[in-house]
Structure formats: structure tokens, C-alpha cells
Amino acid sequence: MTTANIDLLLSRLEGVKQTAPNKWFAKCPAHDDRSPSLSIRLTDEGTILIKDFGGCDTGGVLAAVGLTFLDLFPVRTAANFDSSKPRPKTPRLSKSELFDLLLIEAVILAIAFDSIRNYGSVSTADAERAQKAFDCVMRLHCEVYS
């Protein structure tokens, strides 16, 4: 994972302040934010989690800075995947972080289902991403109930 996506997101925001390693607050670009209400977190896996405490949804925030949901995820390739390594234990997430991540994965699944409904199929890459979204939802289930 490169830091390119987090750097790109942070460069498009105003009033960015780092509050902890891999955590920031900034002014939300989707509404007239006088003080920072947008929380940004970079997970160990390279996923970017965002939450606006002013009430804006993630899609609106991303649209305001010219990014998409796909920009919140690291690019996974065979070159940076080592199946012999044990998977890192997923850190415990807050309820709002779990919900935001669930929402992102649900949108990806909805897009795949819509493509199947409208066109009868999805590309191999889209099917693989939908499978990853499903796997993530199941991991979130385990996070909540373990």
C-alpha cells in the first residue's frame, strides 16, 4: 500500500490536523464547515475510513473532493499479496467506523447487483471486488459478534 490515496485525499481538504498516527480531522468539503468535523483514519490494511460528524454522507464528501469510493481502498495486486503470510488480526473498530466501512462495502455490492440486473453480468474484476466486499461484510459480522 502506498500512501498516495491518503495523501491525495488530505491534499484536497482544508484545515487538516493530525490527531494521532494515521488519524486526522479536517473541515468537511460537503458543507460550510467552520471547524473540523470530518474524521479521517487510515487502517493498517490501507483502507481510508471517513466520518463527518456534521452529518454529510461519505459519498457527498468524496464527490466534493472529486474522489470515489474506490479511492478509499488500496490497490491489491499479485505483486503485493503474499498468501504465505498470516492475515493480520483486524483491530477493534468503533461502531461508527464499523458502520462506515459496512456502508462502503454495501454500496459496492449494490453496484454489482445493479449491473447484473441491468446487464446480466459483471466483469471479472467487478466480481472479484464484489467478493471482497462480501468477505469484508462477513469479517465485520465477526468483529461485532466475536
Q: What is the pLDDT of residues 83-115, one digit of tens each?
A: 666 665 555 667 778 888 888 888 889 888 888
Closest CA to 25 of 10, 40, 14: 40
- Positive or negative, the Cα torsion across 27, 95, 131, 111? negative
Higher-pLDDT residue of 95 and 39 is: 39
Do 130 and 103 fall within a single domain?
yes
> Could you tell me the residue range of the domain that residue 14 belongs to?
1-82
pLDDT band at 31 (very low <50, low <70, confident <90, very high): very high
Alpha helices (H) in the chain, listed in sequence order: 4-11, 58-64, 95-119, 124-145
Do 23 and 48 fall within a single domain?
yes
pLDDT band at 76 (very low <50, low <70, confident <90, very high): low
Closest CA to 51 of 66, 64, 41: 41
Last residue of a domain, one of 39, 57, 82: 82
pLDDT band at 1 (very low <50, low <70, confident <90, very high): very low
Q: What is the pLDDT of residue 2?
A: 47
Contact 30, 60 (CB under 8 A): yes
Q: What is the pLDDT of residue 139?
A: 79
What CATH code is carried by the domain that includes residue 26?
3.90.580
Q: What is the pTM of this model?
A: 0.54
Number of domains within the chain: 2
Q: Rg of the chain's alpha carbons, rounded to an integer? A: 16
Would the pLDDT of 80 be above 70? no
Do 8 and 72 fall within a single domain?
yes
Do 69 and 136 fall within a single domain?
no
Do 73 and 129 fall within a single domain?
no
